[in-house]
């Protein structure tokens, strides 16, 4: 039972044992906390950084049910009924977000917009047609188009649907956080490193600030890190995307994505155009600077303007196009996970909170079976083998290609006292030396000059120039011990 109801300070110094531990305070963790905050359980949330500042803070935050060609992919893998069920889950998630914003009066610029899906490649016309037919079958009013409201982007054919949204993701997350923080315990800057099932059925959780035990654990940290070692490549892979933004005139009110070989993603925030492109499998290119430059050049080409802001972000894609939400191991009913949103985490992270909340409360949820990580993923043997081959290729490349040509002059990969080290010399001439080996699966790291990080080109872990973990699946730093 909760024993902290009247405690005014929920961020306690010491970690305490708990009933439910949520690992990660992004849209998934906060949505879980929202649906569990009024339960009889003592709920604790841990984040390795600041709450709301993970991948969710760098998203383009389209809150949409039109998601590439998801409905035809799901129809192919699992049949029309499941494809429709996924559609229903996205509509429900959009409603939940709208209701939360209204109820909590969150000032996050939630705006209803039309959304476009388009192609510029002849070979993709049948896919546009098919997605249109499926959406019409789901009773959605779909229009056909041959242009976007913004004339700079050429379109061969596309469709447009109503009742989708955009919002400011950080403002939404902070609004949600403001609501839940008084009903749960939380700790920021605590990295969870390991989970062990104990004989009494509880989990012993090791962190950088000590251990705690929890009866139930929800892994909401974007990567399934230590709980599913074979996740990559058997079930999924990572995609990285580059985002550019600048003020443009006039300002528009719609979102758009294409389905072509070079992804284009468009949304607007006030006077700003936010443009995503160069989406690639992480393993296919680790010349981050070149990809970034191409994305910048594209922006300049279309909009005749230098971008004012640039960033990159990565998300987990599933081989069968369906996120993983729910229990991950049939022998461990108290271990939950939510991940693999394929760049559609605003809706899927929200529905994950509802599904996991319902499962913990013993309530039926219409989508729990659809998203269950225990589903059979047999149709995906070929993508699993392809991913495996690509991981091996990326892994070996980092061993043979020790100082890739794109590493800047201020970066070296050297052996110091027999240890492989990455050395970065900053503007002031200070050397930052780290271990050049990812603690996750021992891939060599590559320097990312765009964001000044050490990145794993195989599984996506990222580290600061001083070796702290910025993104998993790694749960240990690459600092050199004194």
Q: According to the binding rule CB under 6 A, does residue 45 interact with ligand FAD?
A: no
321 binds ligand FAD (CB under 6 A): no
Helix (H) or strand (E) holding 327: strand 324-327
Task: Report the C-alpha gap between 87 and 418 in whole angstroms.
Answer: 54
**What is the number of other CB atoms lying within 10 angstroms of the CB of residue 26?**
24
Q: Would you count residue 59 as binding ligand FAD (CB under 6 A)?
A: yes
Residues 6+ apart with CB under 8 A from 191: 48, 207, 208, 469, 475
Give the DSSP letter string of 332-356.
-TTEEEEE--TT-HHHHHHHHHHHH
233 vs 349, which CB is nearer to ligand FAD?
349
Among the listed ranges 53-61, 72-80, 195-203, 407-415, the one in contact with ligand FAD (CB under 6 A) is 53-61
Distance, CA of 411 to chain centre: 29
- 159 vs 412, beta carbon nearer ligand FAD: 159
Residue 327 or 411: the one with the smaller Cβ distance to ligand FAD is: 327
Q: Least separation, in Å, of the C-beta of 46 and ligand FAD?
A: 5
- Give the per-residue contact string, 152-191, with ligand FAD (x = CB under 6 A; - = no): ---------------------------------------x
Comparison of 75 and 241: residue with beta carbon closer to ligand FAD: 241
Q: What angle do CA 443, 446, 447 make, to 5 degrees?
A: 150
Q: How far is CA 252 from CA 158, 269, 354, in A?
A: 18, 9, 33
Q: Report, in Å, the least distance between residue 311 CB and ligand FAD.
A: 8
Query: Under rule CB under 6 A, how many of the chain's residues touch ligand FAD?
Result: 40
Q: Cβ of residue 42: shortest distance to ligand FAD, in angstroms?
A: 18
Q: How far is the CB of 238 from ligand FAD (least distance, A)?
A: 9
391 alpha carbon, distance to own chain's centre: 20
Beta-bridge mates of residue 145? 158
Give CA–CA dist 192/18, Å, rounded.
15
By CB under 6 A, the residues from 5 to 34 that bind ligand FAD are 23-29
Q: How far is the CB of 284 from ligand FAD (least distance, A)?
A: 15
Which residues, 6 or more positions from 401, have their beta carbon under 8 angstroms from its beta carbon? Answer: none
Query: What is the C-alpha to C-alpha distance for residues 210 and 190, in angstroms, rounded to an integer?
Result: 9
Choose which of 115, 314, 380, 407 interacts with ligand FAD (CB under 6 A): 314
CB of 29 or CB of 413, closer to ligand FAD: 29
Q: What are the two backbone dihedrals, phi and then psi, of residue 297, each rounded to the nearest 5 degrees? A: -65, -40
Place of tokens 């610029």: 109
List 241, 291, 320, 455, residue binding ligand FAD (CB under 6 A): 241
> Contact at 8 Å (CB) between 104 and 176?
yes
Q: Which is nearer to ligand FAD, 47 or 131 (CB)?
A: 47
192 lies in the binding site for ligand FAD (CB under 6 A): yes
461 binds ligand FAD (CB under 6 A): no
Give the nearest distance from C-beta 59 to ligand FAD in angstroms.
3
326 binds ligand FAD (CB under 6 A): no
| Pairing outcome for strands 185-187 and 143-145 | unpaired
Closest CA to 353 of 173, 116, 230, 480: 173
The residue whose two tokens read 């251990």 is 211
Residue 54 C-beta: closest distance to ligand FAD, Å:
3
SS3 content of the chain, % helix, strand, coil (to 5): 30, 30, 40
Would you give the binding string for ligand FAD spanning residues 210-239, x where CB under 6 A is met? ----------xxx-----------------
Of 319, 333, 403, nearest to 368 (Cα)?
A: 333
Q: Per-residue contact track with ligand FAD, 136 to 155, x per CB under 6 A?
A: --------------------
Q: Which residues contact ligand FAD by CB under 6 A?
A: 23-29, 46-49, 53-56, 59-62, 191-192, 220-222, 241, 243, 276, 313-315, 339, 341, 343-347, 349, 472, 475
């Amino acid at each position: 039972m909760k024993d902290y109801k009247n405690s005014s300070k929920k961020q306690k110094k010491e970690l305490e044992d708990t009933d439910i531990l949520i690992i990660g305070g992004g849209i998934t963790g906060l949505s879980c906390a929202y649906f569990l905050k009024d339960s009889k359980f003592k709920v604790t949330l841990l984040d390795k950084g600041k709450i709301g500042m993970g991948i969710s803070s760098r998203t383009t935050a389209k809150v949409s049910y039109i998601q590439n060609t998801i409905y035809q992919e799901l129809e192919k893998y699992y049949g029309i009924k499941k494809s429709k069920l996924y559609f229903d889950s996205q509509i429900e998630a959009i409603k939940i977000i709208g209701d939360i914003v209204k109820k909590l009066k969150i000032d996050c610029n939630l705006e209803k917009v039309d959304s476009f899906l388009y192609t510029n490649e002849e070979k993709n016309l049948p896919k546009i047609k098919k997605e249109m037919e499926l959406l019409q079958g789901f009773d959605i009013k779909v229009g056909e188009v041959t242009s976007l409201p913004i004339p700079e982007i050429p379109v061969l054919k596309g469709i447009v649907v109503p009742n989708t949204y955009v919002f400011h993701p950080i403002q939404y997350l902070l609004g949600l956080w403001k609501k839940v923080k008084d009903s749960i315990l939380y700790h920021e800057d605590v990295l969870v490193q390991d989970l062990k099932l104990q004989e009494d059925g509880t989990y012993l959780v090791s962190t950088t600030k000590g251990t705690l035990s929890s009866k139930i654990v929800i892994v909401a940290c974007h990567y399934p890190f230590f709980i599913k070692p074979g996740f990559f490549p058997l079930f999924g892979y990572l995609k990285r995307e580059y985002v550019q933004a600048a003020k443009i005139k006039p300002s528009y009110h719609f979102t758009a994505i294409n389905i072509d070989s070079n992804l284009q993603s468009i949304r607007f925030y006030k006077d700003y155009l936010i443009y995503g492109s160069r989406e690639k499998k992480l393993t296919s290119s680790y010349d981050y600077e070149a990809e970034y430059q191409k994305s910048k050049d594209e922006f300049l080409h279309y909009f005749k303007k230098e971008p004012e802001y640039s960033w990159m972000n990565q998300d987990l894609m599933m081989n069968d196009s369906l996120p993983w939400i729910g229990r991950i191991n049939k022998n461990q009913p108290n271990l939950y996970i939510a991940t693999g949103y394929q760049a559609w985490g605003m809706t899927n992270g929200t529905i994950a909170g509802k599904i996991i909340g319902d499962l913990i409360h013993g309530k039926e949820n219409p989508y729990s079976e659809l998203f269950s990580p225990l589903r059979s993923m047999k149709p995906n043997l070929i993508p699993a083998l392809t991913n495996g081959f690509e991981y091996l290729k990326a892994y070996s490349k980092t061993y043979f290609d020790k100082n890739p040509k794109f590493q800047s002059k201020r970066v070296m990969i050297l052996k110091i006292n027999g240890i492989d080290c990455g050395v970065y010399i900053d503007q002031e001439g200070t050397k930052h030396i780290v271990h050049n080996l990812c603690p996750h699966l021992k891939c060599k790291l590559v320097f990312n000059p765009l964001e000044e990080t050490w990145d794993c080109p195989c599984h996506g872990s990222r580290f600061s120039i001083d070796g702290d973990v910025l993104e998993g699946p790694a749960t240990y730093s690459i600092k050199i011990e004194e």
